[in-house]
Structure 1
Amino acid sequence: MAEKLRFPPKSNRNLGSRKEAWYEFHKGFGHDVEHCIALGYQLASLIKDGFLKEYLEGSQEGSKKEITSAYQGHEVPVHGELNTISGGFSGGGCSASKLKKYMREVMAVEAQGSDQPTEPDLCFTNADLGDVVPHEDDPVVISIVTVGRKVHRVLIDQGSSTDVMFWVTFHNLQLSPDQLRPYDGCLFGFVGDQVEVRGHVELRTTFSNGVSSCTISIRNLVVNVVSAYNLFLGRSSLNRLGTVASRRHMKMKLPSLEGEVIIINLTKRRRGSATRIA
C-alpha cells in the first residue's frame, strides 16, 4: 500500500508541538502517525477509492472530534510564501527621512480638518451590470494614455505598494534610458524574490471614458521582468485618484475635478501580445 502514498518533501521545521517525536512519513520531528493530517487525507482518499476496507472496524463516530484535536497538535509544513508586491514609493519612499516627511504631511492633513471639497459618491448598482458579459475570473484591466500613446493591458492591483512599468513597455513607448532616475530601494515580488529595478520614470497619465478625463503624474518603477501586462497600478496612484474598482461590474469609477463621476469600463480579455500599445 506504501506505493500508493505520496510522500511530502523533507522539511527542516518542527511540524508540531512534540519536538522529540520523529515521524518517518514527513522525515521530520513534531508529531506521530496518529496526528498526521496529511497522511489522514491520503488514507481517506484511498478508502473512498475502495482500498483498506479490511482495516476498517466499527463505526466512525467521533471522527470529527479526532480531526479537530489533530489540528491543535499538528502544523502543516510550509515551504514558502506568496506575497503582494512590496517596496517602491508607498509610505513616502525607502529612506527613513522620506518616511518621516511623509508622516508629517499626513499629520498636517489630518490637522486641517474637513476643509476639502466634497467628492461625489462612488457606488455600484445593478444598473452597472447592464452591459457586462457574465464572467468568472476576468481581472481588473483598463487602458490609459501616456506620452501620447494609448496603453492597453494595465492591471489595477490593489495589493501592490507601487506603480510598476515593465521594461518592454518602457521600450515600446520609445522612452529614452536617459529619462530613468535612479531608485535606491528594493522591490519584492509575489514569491518574496527581489526584482531588478532599472530606475523610475514620472509620466503624466490620463484616465478617460471618452467624455470626461482625469490626469495625474505617476512615478513608475521600471522593472526587468516578463509580464502579461504593460503596467501595474498600485495603491499609491489608486488612492490619489480616489478610485473604486469592481471586478463584478467590470468598471472603475473615480471623481473628476468638476465633481462628476468618471466611469471607465474595464477592457475585455485579449488573446495574443500582452504589450499592445496604440
Structure 2
Amino acid sequence: MVHSVQLTRSVPKIPGINNPIIGFSEDDARRLHHPHDDAFVVSLQIGDYNMHRVLVDNGSSTDILYYPAFQQMRIDMEQLTPTNALLMGFGGTKVFPLGAITLSMTAGDYPQQITREVTFLVVDCSSAYNAILRRPTLNSWKAATSTYHLMIKFPTDYGVGELRGNQVAVRECYIAMLEMEDQQQTMCIRE
C-alpha cells in the first residue's frame, strides 16, 4: 500500500488547455454494464482519506458528510462550525446538521486532477453513502457530468480530468438502503 508519493520532477503544463472541449463518447461507456439506471457513486480524496460511496447528486444544493464517515475521519467535533441550516429530506423530514466543516477534496488522477476546499454539512442520519457531492461544487469545477457514462469530466492545467462512477458500489449502496428501510419499517410497526 502506498502511503506517500513524492514527485521527483515537475509535469509540464499543456499549452492552450485553458478552455478544453469536454465531451463524452461511446468509448467512455464501454466498461459499464448496460442498460443501467444506476445512481452516480464515486470515490474521492476528502481530507487525508480516500472516501468511497460518495453520491454525485446534480439536484442537491448542499454538500453532505454523514456523521459515521466524519467519525471515521477522526475529526474533533470542536472543528465543526455551528450552522442554522435546515435540510429537508424526502417526505418533508427535517434534518438539523451537527455543523459545517471545510475539507480539502481531490478529484481525478494525477496530473489531471483538481483540489478544492469544500464545505460539508455534517448530518447524523442513516445513509448507505458517506457523502453527497452537490451541484454548486460541480459547477465550481466547471465539470460536465453524464449519468449515462457514469462519468464527470473537468478541465485541469494538464488536460481534461475524469472521475468515473462505480457500478459495484452503487449496487452495494442500494442493498444497504433496502436493509435500512426494512429496519425502519420494523421499528414503525412495533410502535
TM-score by length of 2: 0.75
Q: Is 2:151 the counterpart of 1:229?
A: no
Aligned residues: 157
Residue 51 of structure 2 corresponds to residue 136 of structure 1? no
Matched, 1:268 2:167: yes
Q: Assess if the C-alpha contact under 8 Å between 1:162 and 1:233 holds in 2.
A: yes
Comparing 150-159 with 208-217, greater Cα deviation is found at 208-217
Matches of 1:257 and 1:235, distance apart in 2: 22
Of 68, 77, 98 in structure 2, the residue corresponding to residue 198 of structure 1 is 98
Runs of 4 or more off by more than 4 Å in structure 1?
none
Name which of structure 1's ranges 243-252 and 169-178 shifts more when overlaid on structure 2. Answer: 243-252
The answer on whether the counterparts of 2:18 and 2:155 sit within 8 Å (CA) in structure 1 is: no
- Deviation at residue 184 of structure 1 after TM alignment: 1.6
Q: 1:101-144 CA deviation, whole Å, 9 max, x = no partner?
A: xxxxxxxxxxxxxxxx9421221112212222224221111100
2:88 is aligned with what amino acid?
F
Is the Cα–Cα contact under 8 Å of residues 18 and 157 in structure 2 kept in the other structure? no
Could you say which residue in structure 2 is the equivalent of 1:22?
Answer: none
Calculate the TM-score normalised by the size of structure 1: 0.53
Stretches of structure 1 that go unaligned for 5 or more consecutive residues are 1-116
User: Per-residue displacement from partner, 1:47-86 (whole Å, max 9, x unpaired)?
Assistant: xxxxxxxxxxxxxxxxxxxxxxxxxxxxxxxxxxxxxxxx
Q: RMSD over aligned Cα, in angstroms?
A: 1.9
Q: Pick the structure with greater CA Rg.
A: 1
- Report the Cα offset of residue 212 of structure 1: 2.1
2: CA distance between counterparts of 1:269 and 1:226? 20
**SS at the partner of 2:65?**
strand
Distance, in Å, in 2 between the alignment partners of 1:224 and 1:218 is 19
Match of 1:162 among 58, 62, 68: 62
Q: Which has the higher contact order (CA 8 A, sep 6+)?
A: 2
Deviation at 1:176, TM superposition (A): 0.8
- More deviation in 129-138 or 189-198? 129-138
5+ long unaligned stretches in structure 2:
1-16, 177-191
Identity %: 30
The structure that is strand-richer by fraction is 2
Distance 1:121 1:249 in 2: 17
User: Structure 1 residue 253 and structure 2 residue 150: aligned?
Assistant: no
Check whether the contact 1:140–1:245 (CA below 8 A) recurs between aligned residues.
no
Question: Do 1:163 and 1:233's aligned partners in 2 also have CA atoms closer than 8 Å?
Answer: yes
Q: Which one of 120, 124, 133 corresponds to residue 20 of structure 2?
A: 120
Q: Distance in 1 between matches of 2:86 and 2:108?
A: 32
1:146 maps to 2:37: no
- Amino acid corresponding to residue 225 of structure 1 in structure 2: C
On the 8 A contact 2:65/2:120 being kept in 1, the answer is: yes
**Deviation for aligned residue 1:250:** 2.0
Q: Superposed, which structure 2 residues align to 1:71-82 within 5 Å?
A: none
